[in-house]
């Protein structure tokens, strides 16, 4: 077990009909009254959630900031930071999914940053966010786990960039998780959420066998639960039990616990981010496209863990090579069972040369990824090409 540190201070309020606790939680972390209410498009207006949130906040002065996009955009978020400074706001309430919450994390750091916050995302030397404005979340899409971690992914579509950020100051102070919100989601987003949580888990698990016995079983617990509940919640997002389990799995897939003491991969995510940056493909779908091809390309390095995964999660038995191959096939079939295409060409006709473009991005940034930090540029090119 590698040395590690973990601290996750986010307070989770989970279940139905708990929004009446919202004012008390805000007041616990913010003595003032002026709040930025940040959200995405019209979905929380349509479902009535926005009105229900507002109804709880009569004692506060709300400044609305709608319009945070999927793959939240730097330029949009900078407008929110400017608004906060102008209006002297002291707390942000994010109502939305991972994109809104990620966006709010960026805003909370950018507000008081002296200089261009994009430099922080470029990891320019000496450029780091200091204190963040406190914020809480009301989750509307179980998927990214952003509601209970300190990371974010920010996009700048005009230059095809998607960058990560994070730090201990970016944990939400609190997050409200009500599984009934899942009933209002389109199937596409339910599927995205399942695959996102599944792949967050695999990135921290499907490496090589380690002596982290509990962490590996905790990962297998999430994978097995997602497989068990996926058909029910995809078929009927109003299934409360299935939705609640999905929501709780999504948190545990990326709340920091699975990575304790373990080697992690994340190459599927980094390649996938490029597919979103170039083509706007949904994040979860980029993972479903890349993961099976990456596991095939790195079959020998990952074979032992693929066998463990196949046996424990998919209940496979027999020849080990066959188990490892079947585990990849089962994974891809699982994604497809959720209506998800697993080839780039199913999403865009503009795929010519994408394998070289992504290779070039990795080369420019000197990225060496994977659990051995040895994923070569040739391999990246080969994986993307195989995924077309």
Task: Pick from 112, 157, 164, 218 the residue near a second copy by CB under 8 A.
Answer: 218
CB contact at 8 A, 109 and 117? yes
Q: Identify which range of 2-10, 45-53, 184-192, 267-275 contacts a second copy by CB under 8 A.
A: 2-10
Task: Pick from 56, 164, 224, 236 the residue near a second copy by CB under 8 A.
Answer: 224
The residues with which 136 forms a beta bridge, in sequence order, are 93
Asked if 304 is part of the footprint of a second copy (rule: CB under 8 A), the reply reads no
Asked if 11 is part of the footprint of a second copy (rule: CB under 8 A), the reply reads yes
Interaction mask 254-293, a second copy, x per CB under 8 A: ------xx--------------------------------
Distance from chain centroid for Cα 378: 27
| Closer residue to a second copy (CB): 49 or 222 | 222
Asked if 245 is part of the footprint of a second copy (rule: CB under 8 A), the reply reads yes
Least gap, CB of 45 to a second copy (angstroms): 26
d(CA 365, CA 187): 36
| Closer residue to a second copy (CB): 249 or 281 | 249
Least gap, CB of 94 to a second copy (angstroms): 18
For a second copy, the binding residues in 149-188 under the rule CB under 8 A are: 179
Q: Identify which range of 5-13, 36-44, 45-53, 321-329 contacts a second copy by CB under 8 A.
A: 5-13
- Nearest of 271, 284, 299 to residue 358 by alpha carbon: 271
DSSP secondary structure string, 100-113? HHHHHHHHHHHTT-
DSSP secondary structure string, 110-132? HTT-SS-HHHHHTT-TT----S-
Asked if 238 is part of the footprint of a second copy (rule: CB under 8 A), the reply reads no
Task: Pick from 45, 61, 228, 319 the residue near a second copy by CB under 8 A.
Answer: 228
d(CA 291, CA 286): 8
Task: Pick from 220, 296, 304, 326 the residue near a second copy by CB under 8 A.
Answer: 220
- Nearest of 194, 205, 222 to residue 288 by alpha carbon: 194
Least gap, CB of 11 to a second copy (angstroms): 4
Least gap, CB of 19 to a second copy (angstroms): 12
Which residue do the tokens 């497989």 mark? 227
Which two three-digit tokens encode residue 345? 């060409």
- 3-class secondary-structure state, position 166: strand
Q: Identify which range of 156-164, 221-229, 297-305, 364-372 contacts a second copy by CB under 8 A.
A: 221-229
Phi, psi of 65 (to 5 degrees): -135, 85
| Closer residue to a second copy (CB): 18 or 321 | 18
Helices (H), ranges, 204-266: 213-235, 240-253
Least gap, CB of 101 to a second copy (angstroms): 18
For a second copy, the binding residues in 73-92 under the rule CB under 8 A are: none
Least gap, CB of 257 to a second copy (angstroms): 8
Asked if 7 is part of the footprint of a second copy (rule: CB under 8 A), the reply reads yes
Which residue do the tokens 């400074």 mark? 85
Q: Identify which range of 10-18, 42-50, 180-188, 268-276 contacts a second copy by CB under 8 A.
A: 10-18
CB contact at 8 A, 190 and 229? no
- 3-class secondary-structure state, position 223: helix
Identify the DSSP state of 179: G
């Amino acid at each position: 077990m590698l040395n590690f540190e973990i601290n996750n201070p986010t307070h989770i309020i989970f279940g139905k009909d708990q929004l009446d606790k919202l004012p008390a939680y805000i007041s616990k972390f913010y003595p003032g009254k002026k709040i930025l209410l940040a959200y995405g498009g019209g979905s929380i207006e349509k479902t009535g959630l926005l009105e229900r949130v507002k109804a709880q906040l009569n004692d506060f002065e709300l400044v609305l900031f709608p319009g945070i996009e999927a793959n939240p955009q730097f330029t949009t978020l900078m407008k929110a930071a400017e608004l906060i400074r102008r209006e002297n706001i002291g707390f942000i309430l994010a109502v939305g999914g991972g994109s809104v919450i990620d966006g709010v994390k960026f805003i909370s750091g950018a507000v008081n940053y002296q200089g261009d916050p994009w430099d922080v995302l470029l990891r320019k030397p000496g450029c780091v966010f200091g204190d963040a404005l406190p914020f809480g979340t009301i989750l509307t899409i179980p998927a990214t786990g952003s509601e209970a971690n300190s990371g974010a992914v920010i996009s700048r579509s005009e230059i095809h960039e998607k960058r990560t950020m994070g730090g201990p100051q970016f944990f939400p102070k609190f997050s409200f998780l009500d599984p009934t919100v899942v009933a209002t989601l389109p199937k596409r987003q339910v599927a995205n959420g399942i695959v996102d949580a599944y792949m967050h888990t695999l990135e921290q698990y499907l490496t090589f066998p380690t002596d982290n016995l509990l962490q590996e079983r905790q990962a297998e617990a999430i994978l097995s639960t997602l497989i068990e509940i996926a058909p029910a919640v995809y078929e009927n997002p109003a299934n409360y039990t299935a939705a609640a389990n999905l929501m709780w799995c999504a948190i545990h897939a990326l709340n920091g616990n699975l990575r304790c003491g373990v080697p992690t991969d994340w190459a599927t995510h980094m390649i996938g981010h490029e597919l979103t940056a170039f083509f706007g493909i949904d994040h979860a779908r980029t993972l479903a496209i890349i993961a099976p091809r990456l596991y095939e390309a790195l079959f020998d390095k990952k074979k032992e863990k693929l066998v463990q995964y196949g046996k424990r999660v998919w209940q496979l038995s027999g020849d080990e090579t066959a188990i490892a191959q079947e585990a990849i096939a089962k994974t891809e079939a699982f994604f497809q069972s959720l209506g998800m295409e697993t080839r780039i060409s199913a999403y865009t006709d503009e795929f010519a040369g994408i394998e070289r473009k992504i290779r070039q991005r990795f080369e420019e940034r000197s990225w060496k990824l994977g659990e051995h930090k040895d994923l070569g540029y040739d391999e990246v090119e080969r994986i993307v090409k195989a995924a077309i």
